[in-house]
Structure formats: structure tokens, C-alpha cells
């Protein structure tokens, strides 16, 4: 009988020890794990870019490695727009913006609707995150507001793609706002010896006075080609090469 009591006492002590947690701080912003033999409880307080406070808060409980409960609050604000935009509405907004006077189009190549995926595809020459955000602000901020932009981003209704081509050519004619060139070697849009009219803007400070007949130049453009004879493009950059 005495031996049986000892076994029961030892079992109770072992069980209690199995319930005692050991805290472990996680390097995610402040979460703490409480690890015991039988369970793991996590008090969540971790960094999150999606959260309006910068953190996610909540808890999670696992017993013998199996998750049995938990809750996470990301503190995200509900995005509310009076009329939920469609991908075609977004393209119409872009078209309206592009028809305004004095719009800087130097980094813009094209936009079109992808009906299969129900989104708008936008080509930017320099497709970094900063330029994407600048495009959102310029096109949608004044007319539609920040919630409209957030709605578009949240629902992935715009896909940005890089659109840039570079080729080398010889200038065969130079005018005030354009140069005609002969392509030196095959590239994505042109073949060697193709003639191309390159529309340019001549600054008054003389920085591109090298645009004269006979010079070789490296031309960067958006990838959009006007189907005329000869074809025409809008230059993003024209550089003199030896």
C-alpha cells in the first residue's frame, strides 16, 4: 500500500513538472513562447507590415505539437470605398489621367486590361517600387483617394512590368525634335540597317548637341513602336558612343 502511494505521488510530481513552462523570447518583435513537455503556448506580438500599428498580437496553443487554438489580430483598418472599382474602371482612370495637359510620361510605356485575370497591366521603364508608388499617387490620389489606392493594392488589380529597350545606331539625319538613325545590329524591335525616327526633346543647355549626322548613339526607349514608315519611337535617353 505504501509503495502504491509513493508511485502515485511520483506520478503527480512528474505530471506537474510536465506542465511547468519555460519561457523563450522570439526575435520577431516581442513574441514569447512558453514551452512545457505537454504543451506550448505562444503570446504573439510580432512585426507586421500589414498592420496599422506595425505589429500583430494574439495567442496560439499547441498540445503535444498539435495546434488546438489561437487568434491573431493584425490591426488592419477596413478598406472602404464608396464604389468598388473594376479593372476596367481603373484603366479608364489611367486614360483620363494620361489625357491631361503637362503630364510627365517619361517613365510610362503602356497600360492595358488583362481580361482573363481581371487586372490592369502597366509597363514602366524603371519598374522599381518607388516608381510604382509614384504612379499610384499621381493617377489615383487626387481623383479617388488613399482608400481607393489601398483597395487596388489589396486586391492585386494592377500588375507592373518593366518595359525598356536599348539599341545602338548611327544618326543619318538630325532635326530640332527628332533624329533619324540606322540600326547598327539586330535588337528586340529592329534589324540591322533599319531606319528609325527617334523623337527627342532638345534642351537649351546644349547637353545633347552631339545629336548630329554621323555620330553613333545608344538609344533607350519604352519598347513602344509606332507602325509608320520609317517606324517612330519616343526616346527616354540618347547617349553618345564612340
Strand 39-47 relative to strand 32-35, pairing:
antiparallel
Report if residue 81 sits inside a domain.
no
**How far from 97 is each of 92, 105, 113, 142, 143, CA to CA, in Å?**
9, 11, 16, 10, 9
Report if residue 38 sits inside a domain.
yes
Q: How far is CA 195 from the centre of its chain?
A: 36
Average pLDDT of the chain? Answer: 84
What pLDDT, on the 0 to 100 scale, is given for residue 77? 56
pLDDT surpassing 80 at residue 128: yes
Q: Quick one: cell of 112?
A: 492595358
Domain match, 182 and 232 both: yes
Domain match, 176 and 235 both: yes
pLDDT band with cut points at 50, 70 and 90 for residue 201: confident
**pLDDT, average across residues 59-79:** 76
Which of 59-73, 108-122, 180-194 shows the lowest mean pLDDT across its residues? 59-73
Domain match, 20 and 39 both: yes
The predicted-structure confidence for 27-59, as pLDDT tens digits, reads as follows 888 888 888 888 888 888 888 776 666 778 888
Query: Given 24, 49, 73, which residue is the final one in a domain?
Result: 73
Report if residue 91 sits inside a domain.
yes
Q: How many domains does the chain have?
A: 3
Q: What is the pTM of this model?
A: 0.52
Report if residue 135 sits inside a domain.
yes
What pLDDT, on the 0 to 100 scale, is given for residue 101? 60
Q: Is 16 helix (H, G, I), strand (E, B) or coil?
A: helix
Domain match, 194 and 156 both: no
Domain match, 10 and 63 both: yes
Domain match, 174 and 122 both: no
The residue ranges of DSSP E strands in the chain, in sequence order, are 22-25, 32-35, 39-47, 55-63, 66-73, 108-114, 119-124, 158-162, 165-174, 178-183, 195-199, 216-221, 232-241
Helices (H), 45-141: 87-98, 129-136
Residue with cell 533624329: 179
What pLDDT, on the 0 to 100 scale, is given for residue 80? 57
Query: Given 162, 179, 195, which residue is the final one in a domain?
Result: 162
* More confident call, 90 vs 85: 90
Domain that holds residue 49: 2-73
Report if residue 82 sits inside a domain.
no
Report if residue 80 sits inside a domain.
no
Report if residue 229 sits inside a domain.
yes
pLDDT band with cut points at 50, 70 and 90 for residue 22: confident
Amino acid at each position: 500500500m505504501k509503495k502504491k502511494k509513493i508511485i502515485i505521488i511520483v506520478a503527480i510530481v512528474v505530471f506537474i513538472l510536465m506542465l511547468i513552462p519555460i519561457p523563450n523570447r522570439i526575435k520577431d518583435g516581442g513574441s514569447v513562447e512558453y514551452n512545457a513537455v505537454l504543451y506550448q503556448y505562444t503570446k504573439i506580438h510580432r512585426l507586421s507590415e500589414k498592420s496599422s500599428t506595425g505589429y500583430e498580437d494574439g495567442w496560439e496553443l499547441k498540445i503535444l505539437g498539435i495546434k488546438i487554438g489561437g487568434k491573431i489580430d493584425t490591426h488592419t483598418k477596413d478598406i472602404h470605398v464608396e464604389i468598388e472599382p473594376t479593372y476596367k474602371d481603373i484603366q479608364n482612370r489611367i486614360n483620363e489621367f494620361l489625357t491631361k495637359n503637362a503630364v510627365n510620361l517619361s517613365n510610362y510605356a503602356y497600360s492595358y486590361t488583362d481580361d482573363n485575370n481581371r487586372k490592369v497591366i502597366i509597363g514602366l521603364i524603371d519598374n522599381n517600387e518607388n516608381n510604382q508608388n509614384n504612379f499610384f499617387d499621381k493617377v489615383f490620389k487626387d481623383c479617388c483617394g488613399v482608400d481607393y489606392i489601398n483597395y487596388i493594392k489589396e486586391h492585386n488589380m494592377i500588375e507592373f512590368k518593366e518595359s525598356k529597350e536599348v539599341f545602338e545606331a548611327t544618326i543619318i539625319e538630325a532635326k530640332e525634335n527628332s533624329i533619324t538613325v540606322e540600326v547598327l545590329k539586330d535588337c528586340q524591335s529592329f534589324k540591322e540597317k533599319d531606319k528609325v525616327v527617334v523623337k527627342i526633346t532638345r534642351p537649351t543647355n546644349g547637353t545633347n548637341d552631339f545629336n548630329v549626322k554621323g555620330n553613333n548613339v545608344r538609344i533607350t526607349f519604352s519598347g513602344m513602336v509606332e507602325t509608320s514608315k520609317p517606324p517612330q519611337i519616343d526616346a527616354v535617353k540618347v547617349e553618345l558612343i564612340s
